[in-house]
Structure 1
Amino acid sequence: MAVDAAPVETWLPRETMSVASGLTHWITENAKSTRAFLKRVEVAVGIAAPVQGHHITELPRAAHKKGDHTPQADSDAQARELLAPALHGHDIGLVSEAGMPAIADPGSAVVRAAHAMGLRVVPLTGPVSLMLALAASGLNGQNFAFVGYVPQEATERGKRVRELEALALKTGQTQILIETPYRNTALLQALLQNLHPHTRLAVCCAMSLPHQVSRSALVSDWKRAQGLLSGLPLDAPAVFLLGR
């Protein structure tokens, strides 16, 4: 759940805020930002207890760095420990720094553990930049794949970009990529250098935020029309999509 200057009700549905307002136990990427989120929920709809009285437990650092989507004994055991309060009757909220937990963010191990422990799993809706970007791209939304990050090394990155392009052009499957904001410019340059002129490229920045920008055009147009790059906030979180 991204924290932004806009009121929380502008980007979270009322029902999601209502559920959040009743929780006092949380599993999160970052306790500080979760407290800030709770303060904003408190202003909007109220919360069940003062923020300092909430039980907020951070996911292990390994889940941040390497993800937890691949089942492993250690991560699944840790997730079970995090969910222990649920066995004593406490509902627990899973919060990510941005987007939605377990989708391009850690949290999968917690969800797996919840199912294994017989706990009810209820996903709550909110802004998910991957889907917002796909909707704004003009690319195929019936067949798509989120492929995460591409290699940082130039040769390997170029090779991977061309592989993804070949798949997209052959099958029609839109390929969705992300990068850390400080490497967004380098990724965009690599895409323009390695993609064919007739491939469509969309770049969607700061999705769900007031200054969001989405641009979609053929690579040949990206190279020719400087206006496509003008005002593109590449220092913000961005989603890159390519296809036909």
Structure 2
Amino acid sequence: MEQPGKVYLIPTVLSPDALHTIPSYITAAVQKISVFFVENERTARRYLKALDRSINIDNLQILLMQGANGIQLSDTEQAKKFLLEGKDIGIMSEAGCPAIADPGHRIVLAAHSVDAPVIPMVGPNSMLMALIASGMNGQNFQFVGYLPVKPGERVKAIKELEVESTRKHQTQMFIETPYRNNHLLRDILATCKDTTLVCVAADITGPEEFIKTKTVKEWKQQLPELHKRPAIFLLLAQ
């Protein structure tokens, strides 16, 4: 029986100006792969060309991680088919490391189901970079993804995270759609205790990188402008 192909988890840049954060062995890996599962086809094409201008994009199969479409195989079934044929595949997120806050984990799980080797590759991860730069507890932390969109439910979620942070001395990490960042920060400051620490990490690895940790009381004195800036929020109750 033919050995299954390998799955390469390929990190991408967090900022268009941060190609220097990608190790050279990533380029060597993508040069050998002809099948990619991606979150955004246009971004993936641009990134592959930035890594190596000699790559012939038209010779690649670039497939969206979106599940079944019409009579086509679902993305997970397609991935298993390629792997069982012995083909290596690459998985790429829109930014940062695949399978974190994106659908890549489904392809990875499908790979495990057919005993295909999974190879995570080193690259920028906004959650971990924000955490280590925050000064908050890195021994016990939780990433909860997006908070609820509705204001009442969002405020309730923030309260619950603060309570959990107090109980476990646990850093809480979450994200928001960039155009709602300012609303989220205002809700955090209106909901949490004055002594609670809040870190805002925006545009990580970019030229406008902004990472600050302050108490709620200190943040209330001067709010940063976060509209449409990719950001991570961290909270640690004291």
TM-score between both structures, scaled by the size of structure 1: 0.85
Letter of the 1:183 counterpart: R
Q: Which has the higher contact order (CA 8 A, sep 6+)?
A: 2
Alignment partners' CA distance in 2, 1:92 and 1:30? 16
Mapped contact 1:57–1:82 kept (Cα < 8 A): no
Matched, 1:90 2:87: yes
Matched, 1:202 2:186: no
Mapped contact 1:205–1:236 kept (Cα < 8 A): yes
Matched, 1:159 2:156: yes
TM-score between both structures, scaled by the size of structure 2: 0.87
Letter of the 1:6 counterpart: D
- Paired position in structure 2 for 1:237: 230
C-alpha displacement of 1:51: 1.2
Mapped contact 1:3–1:33 kept (Cα < 8 A): no
Alignment partners' CA distance in 2, 1:129 and 1:200? 19
Letter of the 1:197 counterpart: D
Mapped contact 2:33–2:89 kept (Cα < 8 A): yes
Count of aligned residue pairs for this structure pair: 222
- Paired position in structure 2 for 1:70: none
Matched, 1:60 2:66: yes
- Kindly report which structure 2 residues correspond to 1:130-145, keeping only aligned pairs within 5 A, or say none: 130-145=127-142
Please, which runs of 5 or more residues in structure 2 have no aligned partner?
Answer: 1-11
Query: Could you give the per-residue CA deviations for residues 127-157 of structure 1, whole angstroms, max 9, x where no partner exists?
Result: 1100010011111011000011111222221
Identity %: 36
Alignment partners' CA distance in 1, 2:18 and 2:147? 34
- Paired position in structure 2 for 1:36: 46
Letter of the 1:217 counterpart: K
- Paired position in structure 2 for 1:172: 169
- Paired position in structure 2 for 1:23: 33
Alignment partners' CA distance in 1, 2:63 and 2:87? 14
Alignment partners' CA distance in 2, 1:7 and 1:198? 35
Letter of the 2:101 counterpart: A
Structure 1 residues 7 and 195, CA gap change in structure 2 (3 angstroms): closer
Moved over 6 A (4+): none
Alignment partners' CA distance in 1, 2:157 and 2:163? 10
C-alpha displacement of 1:77: 6.0
Letter of the 2:43 counterpart: S
C-alpha displacement of 1:89: 2.3
Alignment partners' CA distance in 2, 1:119 and 1:159? 42
Mapped contact 1:34–1:95 kept (Cα < 8 A): yes
Letter of the 1:138 counterpart: G
Alignment partners' CA distance in 2, 1:3 and 1:220? 30
Alignment partners' CA distance in 1, 2:102 and 2:186? 25
Letter of the 1:60 counterpart: Q
Alignment partners' CA distance in 1, 2:145 and 2:41? 25
Structure 1 residues 39 and 29, CA gap change in structure 2 (3 angstroms): same
Mapped contact 1:206–1:233 kept (Cα < 8 A): no
Letter of the 1:17 counterpart: T
